[in-house]
Amino acid sequence: MTPTIITHELFQPSLAARAAARIRSRMLDQQLAEGANPADRPLRAARAAELTRRSTRERVADEIEQLLRFPDEPHRLRVGPHPIATDVNRDGLQRLAELLRSDTPLYVRGLARLQIALTDGTGPLYTDRHGRALARELEQVQSALIG
């Protein structure tokens, strides 16, 4: 296999790999957050490509801002973040949204970890009654994002 083919496969995953990566996003996010090399597997490469796209970064920043507005908006049958955890960590969450919208290159490990933090209903964003565990998680996410 030539280097050109390897590069093409890594940076332009096939439609099948992209679809499979979306279906298995939670598992792949966990692997990437733990430091797995995206170049080792086509599905990881596809998920890494998705996480690092500008449109994905914008969508995640929007989700963070929506979480911050959650207590002020009407809801039906939707469980939201713990209001104290988000209130205490409002500045940290807003900084992450701003970082995602910036042109700063971000590490896929941090993007995957952020995705887990935002979607894990058993994580500190949803269960931390004091905001301290979420603060620690946000610090670790930020560190993983910028290296």
Say whether both 47 and 58 belong to one domain.
Answer: no
Whether residue 47 sits in one domain with residue 36: yes
Q: Is 67 in the same domain as 86?
A: yes
Q: Are residues 144 and 124 in the same domain?
A: yes
> Is residue 144 located within the same domain as residue 95?
yes
Phi then psi for 136, rounded to 5 degrees? -65, -45
- 38 and 60 belong to one structural domain: no
Q: Tell me which residue range forms the domain holding 34.
A: 1-51
39 and 62 fall within a common domain: no
Let me know whether 40 and 64 are in one domain: no
Whether residue 105 sits in one domain with residue 62? yes
Burial class of residue 115 in the structure, from the number of CB atoms within 10 Å of its CB (0-12 exposed, 13-18 middle, 19+ buried):
buried
Q: Considering 26, 51, 76, which residue would you say is the last residue of a domain?
A: 51
**Average pLDDT of the residues in 88-105:** 97
CA 46 to chain CA centroid, Å, is 15
The count of domains in the chain is 2
Residues 6+ apart with CB under 8 A from 67: 80, 81, 86, 93, 118, 125
Give yes or no for residue 8 having a pLDDT over 60: no
Higher pLDDT, 46 or 16: 46
Report, as an integer, the average pLDDT of 78-99: 92
Mean pLDDT of the chain: 87
Residue 11 pLDDT: 57
Ranking 4-8, 78-82, 127-131 by mean pLDDT, the lowest is: 4-8
- Co-location of 15 and 84 in the same domain: no
Residues 75 and 125 in one domain: yes
82 plus 35 within the same structural domain = no
Grade residue 77 by pLDDT with cuts at 50, 70 and 90: very low
For the segment 102-119, what is each residue's pLDDT rounded down to a tens digit? 999 999 999 999 999 999
